[in-house]
Structure 1
Amino acid sequence: MGRHGSRHLSSSKYDKTLFELLDIAEKDGQITNLGKELKKEIGNLMKVEKDHYGLLSTTGGEELKGIGARVGQNFKELFTSDKKVIAQATFKDRTPQSRDQFIDGLKESLGDNKVDILASAFEEGKDPYLRPYDLATKYNEYAEDGDWVKLYEDYVTQNTGTRYAKEVLLQFFSEGFYQRLNAGEFELKDEKGKVKLSNPTEAASNLYELYIISSNIKGEGDFEFGRYFTANQLKWYESIDNINDFYEKGPSLTSTDLPQNIIAPLVKELIVSTDQSIQQKDTAGIFRFAHAETIIPLSSFLDIAGANVSIDKPQDVTQNWNGSVISPMGANIQWILYSNGKDVLVKMLRNEEEIAFPIETKTYPYYKWEDVKAYYQNKLQKVGVSLDSSLEDNIELLQKKF
């Protein structure tokens, strides 16, 4: 189960709204020389991003091709002409792109080994496995206005956050213009018409998002948005990003398991497809490509250490949960199965490094498949997902229960 590789901006929002804010400041004569530099740099970024929003970057393609190549190199004996390879993706362009780059790397590493690759993508709105959050009604209400939202907003607008936002923004425009922004004068919208910049906190956060994306698109342009932040400011905004992902997509508050429970249909599918592969002996590998919103709750539901503990105090999140480890670009969780013809063992890799299942074993990193299956089947039963449920059943469950 993998996340897509490094990508361009998902849509025109952080760049668009920040550019428009700086444009207003310039027209009003309230922009600084550094503000003009930033506006020009964002303008150059927007030229790069045009027609590429949401797509895999050059770096992302290289990442996924490398992952596929290493799978082929490490397990070459599995990929024979009598076994198929299943490769699935979501409907978003960057995941089929990631799937195809992975397949290219796999094929190159296998050389003369010919395999039958069945590549597919789920239809939009009919994917309870790789994009359950599109279907989960209660979860979407929680993501928009759950108890975590006010907790998060109060945290990011505390003195540190307010001070850092002001320090960052006063590099670009006057104190008077800052006060207008702080008073709520501006409501700048993304390409879909949703307000993405209406206060100093959002403006500074949007700039940080441009800093993050710049490392994804090194092959397309050299952007230096990090130069507008101090080391302490970067650390702060990184922690804010981490906290947001934790509450919206991860273990979240102790009062709810909703963000992780929406991934139960996928866990069911992992177990069922693994069982079928063991019994039918006709599949070399099953590879799925999705998003951070898939990998983060999956890591939590699987009870991977460091990915599954709920925390009620935002200030405690960063010490206990690290999104850059759990779901970087190209993140992946692999189950590798071993058999002597009688017994089946499984080991788990995260980002190609061995990690533990949450159960006992005397042969780490190898676990009895039946023990792993029983552990997760028990969790699935508690949330009402049975192993014999269909795709349609899972869609309905997400819409009504989650």
Structure 2
Amino acid sequence: MRRITPALALGLGALLAAPLSAQATATGNAGAAGAKATYSYGTKATYEPRQNARSYQRPPAGFAPVFTENVSRHGSRSATDGADGELILALWDKAEAEGLLTARGREFGPEVRALQAAMAKVGYGNLSGRGKREMRDTAVRLAKRLPGLFQRIAKTSEKIDVVSSGQGRAVDSGNTFAASLGDADPALKPLIGPARTDKDLLYFHKSTGGAAYQDWLENDPRLAATLKSIKDQPATHRAAGSVLKKIFKPSFVQRISDGEFASIGSDVDAAEAVYDLYAIAPAMSEESPGGEGRHLDRYIAPSDAAWFGYLGDTEDFYEKGPSFADSDITYKMADVLLDDFFQQVEAKRDGTSKLGAELRFTHAEEIIPLATLMRLPGSTKAVTTDGPYTYADNPWRGASVAPLGANIQWDVFRKGDTYLVRMLYNEKETAFKTSCRPVARGSEFYNLNELERCFGRSD
């Protein structure tokens, strides 16, 4: 086991010592008082818009919407495979045969099997019923937010382009979103183009442009050592033991920890499997008998869920997000997507585009780097080797940066030859990076020329 730095130990110790309410606040995704906390789900958190539709700023006088574009992570989905359920059920079956389940643990196996069956029916990795609803609802809110734009699109017969990574859940998200727009205004249906695939744009982490990144991900010794040092420490084993003791009697938990079932998994492997099932359950709320993950909550204490959520955020932060301050390997490749955002708006300004909307559907592996590249809220602070990522001193949270259904949207408004852009991040009006100046103090609108300047696209 690697020795962790004092700074890391202090940060992690502060998290564990904090009361639940403080932990919820620290992760940036706490619910209202009395509501079930969702901070511990990481990037598997289900989607909710971040701003009330009635509170959006109006564009400056005389400006009308002429274009909108987005990039959206796919909606809620099932687990990508059945490995977590298979691992923990293999241990559960052994414990059941030996009479070593707790009273609560006896109910765990059937509940996991019901969840596994629901995910298998949907198809592993596929969009769930909730995910489809998230896409439909987001499309409806878009249409209501910009009624003048969609009336203009219908009147002038401009096209709506739908493009995805080509992966099933992204394709389905795009199709569901587009169909919902058409249902909201049937005049739009013939204007919505057939969905197309662009892997270089929306699956860049595994395209030619991501080759160096994939090599770094697999072979960088600093990355591997950092992740190991954060995960492989006593706090993780304590949390694992706490999770497993809700299901198995202490003697069986000790045997897992001692490595008797190493061919199945370690104590940490087993506890992570429980956590992963807990985290995915809300995404399956329309198919799973547990609905909203209520039943699986019984098998993991909030503090343990917070710990494993932190470990998941750690991996995503280093592998996809701000990561190390002396490197841009995790997010430089998102240039292709940011370039496309600008190119679409510039083509509209230059009169070379016949599009009224550009709708893109992708994955967390693209949303997280793009958020970092654009320096969106929560994605501005990288770390050093000596000062690792902790909840105590870094605002990055997977549940805020890239929940299921996460989206970034640019709305474009025109008055004469002047074009303004407003950005929404998870449907919340969001300022561009601090070097960009809005049209007025406190305004959410930016001149396109100013954005080109502050993003280095000016001649």
Residue 448 (structure 2) aligns with: 369
Alignment of 1:135-214 (within 5 A): 135=207, 136-146=210-220, 147-186=222-261, 198-214=265-281
Q: Distance in 2 between matches of 1:78 and 1:281?
A: 15
Task: Select the structure with the greater relative contact order (CA < 8 A; seq sep ≥ 6).
Answer: 2
* 1:222 alignment partner, SS class: coil
Alignment of 1:221-300 (within 5 A): 221-223=288-290, 224-279=295-350, 280-300=352-372
Which of 315, 334, 355 is matched with 2:390 structurally? 315
Letter in 2 for 1:368: N
Q: Distance in 2 between matches of 1:330 and 1:361?
A: 27
How far apart are 1:77 and its partner, in Å? 2.4
Q: Distance in 2 between matches of 1:114 and 1:9?
A: 32
Which of 190, 201, 206 is matched with 1:134 structurally? 206
TM-aligned CA distance change 1:351 to 1:340, over 3 Å: same
TM-aligned CA distance change 1:11 to 1:54, over 3 Å: same
TM-aligned CA distance change 1:238 to 1:318, over 3 Å: farther
CA contact (8 A) 2:89 2:109 kept: yes
**CA offset digits 1:235-284 (Å, max 9, x no partner):** 22222222221111100122321111121112222222222233225211
How far apart are 1:102 and its partner, in Å? 0.8
CA contact (8 A) 2:161 2:359 kept: yes
Alignment of 1:67-86 (within 5 A): 67-79=138-150, 80-81=153-154, 82-86=157-161
CA contact (8 A) 1:9 1:213 kept: yes
Residue 347 (structure 1) aligns with: 422
Letter in 2 for 1:64: M
TM-score under structure 2 normalisation?
Answer: 0.75
Letter in 1 for 2:277: L
Residue 399 (structure 1) aligns with: none
Higher mean C-alpha displacement, 18-27 vs 130-139: 18-27
Residue 360 (structure 1) aligns with: 437
CA contact (8 A) 1:185 1:198 kept: no
Q: Distance in 1 between matches of 2:416 and 2:355?
A: 15
Residue 29 (structure 2) aligns with: none
Q: Distance in 2 between matches of 1:11 and 1:274?
A: 39
TM-aligned CA distance change 1:227 to 1:298, over 3 Å: same
CA contact (8 A) 2:114 2:289 kept: no
How far apart are 1:183 and its partner, in Å? 4.2
TM-aligned CA distance change 1:63 to 1:103, over 3 Å: same
How far apart are 1:288 and its partner, in Å? 0.2
Q: Distance in 1 between matches of 2:196 and 2:241?
A: 44
Higher mean C-alpha displacement, 209-218 vs 168-177: 168-177
**CA offset digits 1:295-327 (Å, max 9, x no partner):** 111100011132121024132477411221111
**CA offset digits 1:6-25 (Å, max 9, x no partner):** 11112222112222232233
Which of 87, 91, 112 is matched with 1:21 structurally? 91
**CA offset digits 1:50-77 (Å, max 9, x no partner):** 1421111111111110111111122232
Q: Which runs of 5+ in 1 are unaligned?
A: 189-196, 380-386, 388-402
Q: Does 1:63 align with 2:134?
A: yes
CA contact (8 A) 1:73 1:110 kept: no
**CA offset digits 1:173-206 (Å, max 9, x no partner):** 3445434433445456xxxxxxxx6321221112
RMSD over aligned CA atoms reads: 2.3
Q: Distance in 2 between matches of 1:176 and 1:265?
A: 54
Q: Which runs of 5+ in 2 are unaligned?
A: 1-70
TM-aligned CA distance change 1:13 to 1:377, over 3 Å: farther
Q: Distance in 2 between matches of 1:43 and 1:228?
A: 15
CA contact (8 A) 2:165 2:171 kept: yes
Aligned length: 369
TM-aligned CA distance change 1:373 to 1:355, over 3 Å: same
Q: Distance in 1 between matches of 2:98 and 2:257?
A: 16
Alignment of 1:83-98 (within 5 A): 83-98=158-173
CA contact (8 A) 2:165 2:201 kept: no
Higher mean C-alpha displacement, 140-149 vs 345-354: 140-149
